[in-house]
């Protein structure tokens, strides 16, 4: 969901309705009519999709594009007017006052600038009281999710401002819901902050770290995040890292920007070559560090490029029934069928058979305007989020579907930038208070 969603959702290209021909393994209408029945076990026949347990070697211990908000620049203001008829003494006093005021203004500006610089380079080294591993558990939280998508607050490059204390609080809460999280990029010290918080809280958690490159900046964003990932691994090691995801909806965005629709067309393959350069460079970086980690890619569910997917260990597919205009009654079953029919089947057709998971799925709970509060058949509401939780989570756990629920908490910057439902996908409100929902009680260990 890294696309620019400034326009109402009714005007968006429904990319789930436009499965590229090369990946159209069954008619879309049959997927949307499956209802909410998710098989509780993988089918046993030899012709069925194999749901063996990917990532089985991970200890059982997701902007998303990071859009920077534009803040106003500090400008000097003339606080004092010079009076031409003032005597010399008065002029001297006035000049002294002006000098003091200017000095104060300059000091404030320098303080703010230095604060921003420190936040951008190393995030806030804020104090943490007590032992973060000793925290009160919330009885309303259940460790039922296979994984959860997470973007720490204050990691929007270049206006970085994430606090370790906030990330510690997030990890304490997330650890009561899941043993796995995914992040979207490495800007603003995201990787180090998350690994540090896991280390401090001593929870059973692994994270899929990520690099979110751009196609048109000659590798600037990729290189910046690559350095941050290297530093974080050198500092915290890899015990809590499950994999490195390079690219999020990179091919989808490249096609949109260049007038393409098929991820395996000439346009799609051109974008793939750019992305493969980043992926293979990440592989070389890890090798040079003598680090062995899985490398993957995340994209919209029907926009994986075969060349990319053949070059990675795992693929993460964004599968959203909301944006497919599916009713809440059919949402859970549609999500499972789409993922199995489009993404798992595609992976099985490739020589490397990459492991597949759902990178994002969920349901929004609110909208900033009436025009976006419905996807057609159903509305954005906490009641409907509860329905999706009730019909997807335990069933997916039982049949071995691997997924990252989208998402941990509401992100206010998306509400400010995009409006509509974009800021309301969290299980928690932005203040880290659980929404008016009940977490399903079922094990995610399967």
Catalytic residue from among 153, 340, 360, 402: 360
Report the DSSP beta bridge partners of residue 210: 245
Report the DSSP beta bridge partners of residue 248: 298
Q: Is the peptide bond before 252 cis (omega within 30 degrees of 0)?
A: no
Rounded CA separation 300/252 (Å): 7
Residue 232 backbone dihedrals phi, psi, to 5 degrees: -65, -40
Q: Give me Rg for the CA atoms of the chain.
A: 24
DSSP 377-419: SSB--HHHHHHHHHHHHHHHHHHT--EEES-SB--HHHHHHT-
Angle, CA 378 vertex, CA 327 and CA 16 arms, to 5°: 50
Name residues whose C-beta falls within 8 Å of residue 209's C-beta, 6 or more positions apart in sequence. Answer: 183, 186, 190, 191, 194, 229, 232, 241, 243, 244, 245
User: Is 249 labeled as catalytic in the residue annotation?
Assistant: yes
Rounded CA separation 417/2 (Å): 13
User: Is 153 labeled as catalytic in the residue annotation?
Assistant: no
Tokens representing 231? 């530093």
DSSP 149-203: E---TT--TTS---BHHHHHHHHHHHTTTBSEEE-S--GGGHHHHHHHHHHHHT-
Q: Residue 380 to residues 23, 235, 262, 276, 370: CA-CA distances in angstroms?
A: 30, 42, 30, 37, 10
Maximum Cα–Cα distance across the chain = 100
Number of other CB atoms surrounding residue 77 within 10 Å: 7
Query: Can you state the angle between helices 328-338 and 382-399, rounded to 10 degrees?
Result: 30
Rounded CA separation 323/89 (Å): 72
Catalytic residue from among 153, 249, 355, 402: 249
Rounded CA separation 353/347 (Å): 5
The structure tokens 């990252």 sit at 404
- Which residues are catalytically annotated? 249, 360
């Amino acid at each position: 969901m890294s696309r620019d969603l400034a326009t109402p959702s009714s005007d968006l290209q429904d990319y789930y309705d436009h499965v590229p021909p090369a990946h159209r393994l069954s008619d879309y209408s049959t997927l949307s009519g499956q209802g909410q029945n998710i098989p509780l076990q993988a089918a046993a026949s030899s012709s069925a999709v194999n749901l063996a347990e990917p990532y089985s070697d991970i200890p059982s211990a997701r902007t998303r594009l990071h859009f920077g908000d534009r803040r106003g620049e500090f400008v000097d203001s003339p606080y004092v007017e010079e009076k031409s008829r003032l005597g010399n003494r008065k002029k001297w006093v006035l000049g002294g006052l002006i000098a003091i005021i200017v000095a104060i203004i300059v000091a404030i500006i320098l303080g703010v600038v230095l604060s921003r610089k420190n936040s951008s380079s190393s995030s806030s080294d804020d104090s943490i009281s007590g032992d973060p591993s000793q925290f009160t558990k919330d009885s309303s939280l259940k460790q039922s999710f296979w994984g959860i998508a997470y973007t720490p607050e204050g990691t929007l490059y270049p206006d970085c401002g994430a606090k370790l204390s906030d990330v510690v609080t997030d990890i304490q809460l997330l650890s009561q819901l899941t043993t796995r999280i995914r992040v979207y990029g490495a800007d603003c010290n995201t990787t180090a902050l998350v690994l540090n918080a896991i280390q401090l809280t001593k929870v059973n958690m692994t994270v899929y770290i990520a690099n979110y490159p751009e196609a048109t900046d000659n590798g600037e964003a990729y290189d910046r995040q690559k350095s941050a990932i290297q530093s974080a691994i050198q500092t915290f090691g890899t015990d809590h890292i499950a994999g490195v995801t390079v690219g999020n909806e990179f091919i989808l965005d490249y096609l949109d920007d260049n007038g393409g629709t098929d991820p395996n067309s000439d346009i799609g393959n051109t974008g793939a070559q750019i992305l493969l350069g980043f992926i293979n460079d990440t592989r070389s970086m890890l090798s040079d560090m003598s680090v062995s980690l899985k490398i993957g890619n995340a994209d919209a569910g029907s926009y994986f490029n075969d060349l990319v997917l053949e070059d990675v260990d795992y693929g993460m597919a964004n599968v959203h029934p909301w944006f497919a205009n599916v009713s809440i009654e059919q949402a859970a079953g549609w999500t499972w069928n789409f993922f199995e029919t489009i993404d798992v089947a595609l992976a099985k057709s490739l020589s490397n058979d990459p492991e597949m998971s759902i990178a994002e799925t969920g349901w929004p709970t609110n909208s900033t305007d009436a025009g976006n509060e419905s996807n057609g058949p159903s509305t954005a509401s906490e009641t409907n989020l509860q329905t999706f939780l009730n019909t997807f989570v335990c069933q997916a756990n039982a049949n071995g579907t691997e997924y990252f629920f989208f998402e941990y908490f509401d992100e206010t910057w998306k509400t400010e930038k995009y409006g509509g439902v974009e800021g309301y996908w969290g299980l928690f409100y932005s203040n880290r208070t659980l929404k008016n929902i009940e977490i399903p009680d079922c094990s995610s260990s399967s």
